[in-house]
Amino acid sequence: MVSSATVLPGPESRPKRPIDRYVLWAALALAVFGVVAVYSAISFLAETRAGGDTERFLVRHLVRVGVAFAALLACSAIDYRKLARFSRIALLVSLGLLVVVHIAGVTWGGATRWLRIGSVGFQPSDLARVALILYVGVLLAKKQAYIASFTRSFLPLMVWVLGACILIGMEDLSSALMLLATTMLMCFVARVRATHLAGLCAAGLALALLLVLVSPNRAARLESYLGMDLFPPSGTEEVAEDRGEGYQAQQARIAFAMGGLTGVGPGKSTQRDFLPAPYNDFIFAIVAEEYGLLGALALLAAFSILLFRGFLRIARPAPDPLGLFLGAGFTTSVALYAFVHAAVACGLLPVTGLPLPFVSYGGTSMAATGMMFGILLNISRQCAVR
């Protein structure tokens, strides 16, 4: 894949094509669908924090969608090569912010992941996700001549990847694992040796196990999913807690059962009153309840379009190795978040707390997704006409 990308003519002599309309329409469809789904699921949050004023949170969500599409348009208009030049600075700033989070972060929902500047709160981990994928793409493109070398190529990559994943995983293990999987796929596309990738995978799993062992909540989450006690830090009480991880998975399955094939109808969900964070962590379950299996599959179809176009119509014909690696990385990141979120809602995976890109209620994650879509669209614009 890399060699075919390197023999294309230079960007000046190659005719350009317009941005990938399918990816753009998929982003628009997800955002519109998300506004409707969030408005339906937001009632519990509105009752507990705004006296039932759902319009207040709807307006806030619309503003965040607007910010995300502003980021999308800005990144789609800027050459991805120019953005990549600032990737190391962006990553260093993001990692610095992650350190600050562990020192003076804001705790919400039992997790310390946010920083607050005035009245604005944000998650540095989402910014670090974009910056790391950008910088890994730059390193992989620069080191193609000696990509098989452990000391010159793989070791510098591993330092950045594991460093970022450790800082993120201390408070958000699921996001760290998604980021590790994304960077590993980028390395696979870049022809990094399989033995090196196996070592990175082993190191990531060892770190994940360590982070589970030191966190009773994570241990209880995994034990609830497996239905057995495995780790000393967690006990039966935490696994079987009425409002714990098992409760969330059970209520999500009830939502799927209530929805059936065609759903109970927009705005008629009952499980939104029982599911914790139905507007974010379990928005897919609310979609399945209100729109049924058909609606849930339609939502996944939009991400499948992104997956297909991102790999075969953007990354594969990219004008240079950097475009190839970034196209594969950002496509994987968005799609992986989406399908893991859906798998959690279906009970196929342990509860993770990952948002559904462009659909869940969120601020920084929405902006980060907008940047990823924007860079993908810019790469598609640089591809040769076929």
Q: How many CA atoms lie within 13 A of 220 on its CB side?
A: 19
Q: Are the CB atoms for 72 and 377 separated by under 8 Å?
A: yes
The average confidence (pLDDT) of the chain is 86
Joined together, the tokens standing for residue 324 give 């190839």
Cα–Cα distance measured from residue 300 to residue 339, given in angstroms and rounded to the nearest whole number? 8
For the stretch 16-63, pLDDT in tens is 678 899 999 999 999 999 999 998 888 766 666 656 667 888 888 999
Can you give the pLDDT at residue 315?
95
For the stretch 144-166, pLDDT in tens is 999 999 999 999 999 999 999 99
Q: What percent of the chain has pLDDT over 90?
A: 58
Residue 161 carries which side chain, given as an amino acid letter?
V
Asked which of 11-20, 28-37, 371-380 is least confident by mean pLDDT, the reply is 11-20
Which of 103, 160, 84 is CA-nearest to residue 323? 84
- Would the pLDDT of 240 be above 90? no
State the pLDDT confidence band at 355, using cuts at 50, 70 and 90: very high
- Would the pLDDT of 241 be above 60? no
Asked which of 69-78, 80-89, 241-250, 258-267 is least confident by mean pLDDT, the reply is 241-250
User: What are the residues facing 115 on neighbouring strands?
Assistant: 122
Cα–Cα distance measured from residue 60 to residue 315, given in angstroms and rounded to the nearest whole number? 34
Overall average pLDDT of the 216-226 stretch: 76
Quote the crossing angle between the two packed helices 21-41 and 283-308, to the nearest 10°: 180
Cα–Cα distance measured from residue 340 to residue 351, given in angstroms and rounded to the nearest whole number? 10
Burial class (CB in 10 A: 0-12, 13-18, 19+), 21: exposed
- Would the pLDDT of 385 be above 60? no
For the stretch 294-307, pLDDT in tens is 999 999 999 999 99
Spatial CB neighbours of 93, under 8 Å, sequence gap ≥ 6: 131
- Would the pLDDT of 197 be above 70? yes
Domain coordinates of the chain in residue numbers? Answer: 2-382
State the pLDDT confidence band at 359, using cuts at 50, 70 and 90: very high
Does residue 177 come out as left (phi exceeding 0), alpha (psi in the -120 to 50 range) or beta? Answer: alpha
State the pLDDT confidence band at 216, using cuts at 50, 70 and 90: confident
Burial class (CB in 10 A: 0-12, 13-18, 19+), 161: buried
Does residue 109 come out as left (phi exceeding 0), alpha (psi in the -120 to 50 range) or beta? Answer: left
Sequence-ordered alpha helix ranges (H) in the chain: 2-6, 21-41, 43-49, 54-77, 80-85, 87-104, 124-142, 155-169, 173-189, 194-213, 216-226, 236-239, 245-259, 283-308, 321-346, 364-382
Cα–Cα distance measured from residue 41 to residue 44, given in angstroms and rounded to the nearest whole number? 7
Burial class (CB in 10 A: 0-12, 13-18, 19+), 213: middle
Which of 1, 54, 38 is CA-nearest to residue 266? 38
Can you give the pLDDT at residue 277?
80
Q: Per-residue DSSP letters for 233-273? A: T--HHHHT-TTSHHHHHHHHHHHHHHHTTT-S-TT--SGGG
Overall average pLDDT of the 172-191 stretch: 94
Burial class (CB in 10 A: 0-12, 13-18, 19+), 140: buried
Can you give the pLDDT at residue 144?
94
pTM score, whole prediction: 0.89
